Amino acid sequence: MTSVPPEPYLAGLSYIEGLERTAMHDWLRAELLDQAHLLAGREDDFPVQAIVNHFPYLRLDAQRRVFEILDTLLWEWKQNPLAWPSDAVRSLLELMAALAVPGAKAKLQSLANTPQQLSVIDESLRPSIFRTIAALSSNVDRHFWIHLAEKQPELAGMAFQVLTRVAPGDAIGAIRFLPSDEAAVGGVARALPSLVSGSSPEQRDSVLSEVLSVIDTLPDETAAELRLALEQAKVLVRAVNVPNDDLQVQQFRELADAFVRGLKLVSNLDQLYATAA
Amino acid sequence: MPFESARAHLDTSDREHLDSLLDQWASAGGVAAQAAENLHAEHGCTTEILTNYLRALAAARASLAIAPPGPGPAPAFKAIGSPFVLAGYVATPWTGLVFGRAILLEKYARYLSRTLDGNLSSLKCVDDAETVRETLRALQDVNEADTPRAYAVYFKAMRLTSLGKDAVFATFAKLVASSESPWPDPRPGADKVRNSLALGADPPGKDYILFAYRLPTDTLPKVPTTASPGWTYQQWYRPNAAAAAELHGWTAPPDSRDHPCPEIVHSEIDGNSLVFPIHLALA
C-alpha cells in the first residue's frame, strides 16, 4: 500500500476492499464493459485510469485479488473472444500493462506464438496485445521481439522500439531485417534518434557509425527515411556543400534544435550501454 | 433563487421526495452533501430545465439514496442527469474563443493508442506505449510544420482522437484576443493546472498535456449544470451564482492560492479543431 490515499479515493477503496472474489470479478468485468463507473474520475473516462489511480492505495490482499481477477478475465476473453467488445479488451490489456499483472506477459506471449489462437482474435486488437507485452518486457524477452520483427513486418517498428529499451545492441541488428513496410519504417524512424542520442557520450559515435552501416544495407527508400529521421533530430547532420545556402542550413539547424530540446532520452539506455561495455 | 423557484413548480409529492433525498444527502456528508449544496446553488440553466431535473431526481430517489458501504449513487446520478448535462445556458459570448483542456499525459497516450490501433490501415503506426508517451513529450511546443516527417502521423492521430468522454469541460481566457491560447506562457506546472482547474480525481504528481482548440460550428459551449460533472466530481464542482449573466462557470481550486478559471462544457468532439502545438504541464 502506498502512503495515505487521497480523500477522493476513500469511498472507492473501501468499496473495492470489501468485495469478495466473485463480487470483484463482476465489478471489474462491468467496469471493463463500460457498464459500471464507481470510482472517482471514472464517469467521464474509460475505466483504466481510475482503477490505475486507486490501485496503489489498496490493501495488499485486495491488490492480489485484483491481479487474480484480471488474470481470470484474460482467460475468459481468450476462451470466447467474440463475446468481448474491442474496447473492453483494450481496457483489459491496458490495465494489465499499467498494473504489471504478474504472469500476464507470458500468457500473452503464448497467445502471440499460437497462430490458431491469434487467428480468432480481431486483427485490430493485435497492436494492443503486443503493446501490453511490450510494456511488461525486459531484457529476457529480446528474442521474442527479434523473432517478431522477422515474422510480422508490420510490428517490426514496435519490436525495434522495445529492443532500444531492453536490448539496445540487438535493436541495431534488428534494423538489418527491417521490411519496406511504412508502419515498420515509421516506428523505427521515431525511435532511432533516441537509440543513438541515448547512448553514452563516449559510445555515441560508434553507435551512430554502426547504425549508419546497417542503414546502408537497406533498400534506398527505407535508408533515406531513416537517415532523414536522424538528420531531422540532429543526430546526423548532413554535410551541406551549397555555398549560398547558409540561411537554409541555419533554419534547418534551428528546426532540429527545437525538436531535440523536446526529445527526452530513453532513460535506461546509458545504463544498458555501460553494462554492455 | 432558481432552486426555490424550480422546487415551487414541483407537485407536493415530488417536492417531499426531493426534500427527503436532499436531506439524506446533506446528512451523509462528503460528496453527497456537496451535491445537495450544488443543487441548491444551481444557476446554470433556466427554471424550467431545473424543475425538470429536480423532478427526475425526486422520481429516482430510491436509486439515488446513500447506502454505505459503497461509492454512492454514481451510476444512477449519471443516468438521471444525462439529459441535463448540456442543458445549461448557451455560452454565446465565448463561442469563437480558443478553449483549453488539460488531460493526464498517460491517459491521453492511451486514448491516442486506441486511435492508432483502430485506424491502423490508414495511419500505419503501431508504436509501443512508452514511445507514444515519449513522442507526445517530444512534440510539446513544436509546430506541426517543423516536425520531423516520421512524427506527422501523430498529428493525424491527435486530430482523430476524442478530447474527452461524455460532458467535456474546457477552460478559456476571458481577457485575451479570440485567437490567443488559454494557456499562459511560461506554462504552469502540473500541480497548478490540477489545482486551478480543480481536477481533483487525478492523482497529484503526474504530467498533463495542455490542448488548445476551437469548437466546431455545430458544437455550442454551454454553462455547466450540477448534472454536468457527474457524481464524484461534485466535490470539486461549484455552480457559478452569476452564471446567467456571465454565461460560464468558474472552477473552484481546492487550494485558494490559485485563481478560479472560467469554464464551459460541451459535447464530445475529436481533435480536428486542435490548435497546435501541444504544451505540457510538468509535475
Same domain? For B80 and B96 the reply is: no
Residues pairing with B104 in the sheet: B208
Same domain? For A45 and A163 the reply is: no
Mutual orientation of helices A220-232 and A246-262 as an angle, nearest 10°?
Answer: 80
Cα A263 from Cα A52, distance rounded (Å): 27
Interface test with B, best of A16, A39, A44 (most B CBs within 10 A): A44
Q: Please, which residues have CB within 8 angstroms of residue B186's CB and are 6 or more apart in sequence?
A: none
Same domain? For B65 and B97 the reply is: no
Same domain? For A18 and A43 the reply is: yes
A187 → closest Cβ in B110, B117, B126: B126
* Residue A46 contacts residue B165 (beta carbons within 8 Å): yes
> What mean pLDDT comes out for the span B190-216?
95
pLDDT tens digits, B2-57:
999 999 999 999 999 999 999 999 999 888 999 999 999 999 999 999 999 999 99
Q: How many domains does chain A have?
A: 2
Cα B207 from Cα B104, distance rounded (Å): 6
* Residue A196 contacts residue A208 (beta carbons within 8 Å): yes
Q: Is residue A264 part of a domain?
A: no
Same domain? For A195 and A81 the reply is: no
Q: Is residue A199 part of a domain?
A: yes
What amino acid occupies position A199?
S
What is the DSSP track for A168-188? HHHHHHHHTT--S-HHHHHHH
Please confirm whether the linkage preceding B277 is cis (ω < 30° from 0): yes
> Which of the listed residues A110, A136, A162 is the one where a domain comes to its end?
A136
Say if A222 is an interface residue toward chain B (CB within 8 Å).
no
Q: Which of B18-32, B114-128, B138-152, B235-249 has the lowest mean pLDDT?
A: B114-128
* Residue B91 contacts residue B249 (beta carbons within 8 Å): no
Q: Is residue A229 part of a domain?
A: yes
Same domain? For B199 and B74 the reply is: no
> Looking at residue A277, what is its pLDDT?
37
Taking contacts as CB-CB distances below 8 angstroms, the residues of chain B near A264 are 134, 137-138
B200 → closest Cβ in A8, A15, A189: A8
> Looking at residue A261, what is its pLDDT?
56
A18 → closest Cβ in B69, B78, B134: B69
Cα distance between the two ends of chain B: 41
* Domain, as residue range, for A194: 137-235
- Would you give the distance in Å from CA B36 to the centre of its chain? 20
Ramachandran sector of residue A152 (left: φ over 0; alpha: ψ -120 to 50; beta: rest): beta
> Which of the listed residues B29, B63, B84 is the one where a domain comes to its end?
B84
Q: How many domains does chain B have?
A: 2
What ipTM was reported for this prediction?
0.89
pLDDT by position in tens, chain A (length 277) = 557 888 888 888 999 999 999 999 999 999 999 888 788 876 667 889 999 999 999 999 999 999 999 999 999 999 999 999 999 999 999 999 999 999 999 999 999 999 898 999 998 899 999 999 999 999 999 999 999 988 888 889 999 999 999 999 899 988 888 888 888 999 999 999 989 988 888 999 999 999 999 999 999 999 999 999 999 887 766 443 334 445 455 555 555 565 555 554 433 433 434 444 3
* Domain, as residue range, for B257: 92-281
> Looking at residue A26, what is its pLDDT?
95
> Looking at residue A41, what is its pLDDT?
77
- Nearest chain B alpha carbon to A231: B148
Same domain? For B143 and B76 the reply is: no
Interface test with A, best of B80, B126, B142 (most A CBs within 10 A): B126
Name the nearest CA neighbour of B245 among B93, B71, B27.
Answer: B93
pLDDT tens digits, B252-264:
999 999 999 999 9
> Looking at residue B119, what is its pLDDT?
80
Same domain? For A119 and A161 the reply is: no
What are the contacts of B28-33 at 24+ separation with CB within 8 A? B28/B66, B28/B68, B30/A11, B30/B235, B31/A11, B31/B72, B31/B231, B31/B232, B31/B234, B31/B235, B32/B66, B32/B72
Q: Is residue A266 part of a domain?
A: no
Cα B208 from Cα A63, distance rounded (Å): 27
Same domain? For B211 and B261 the reply is: yes
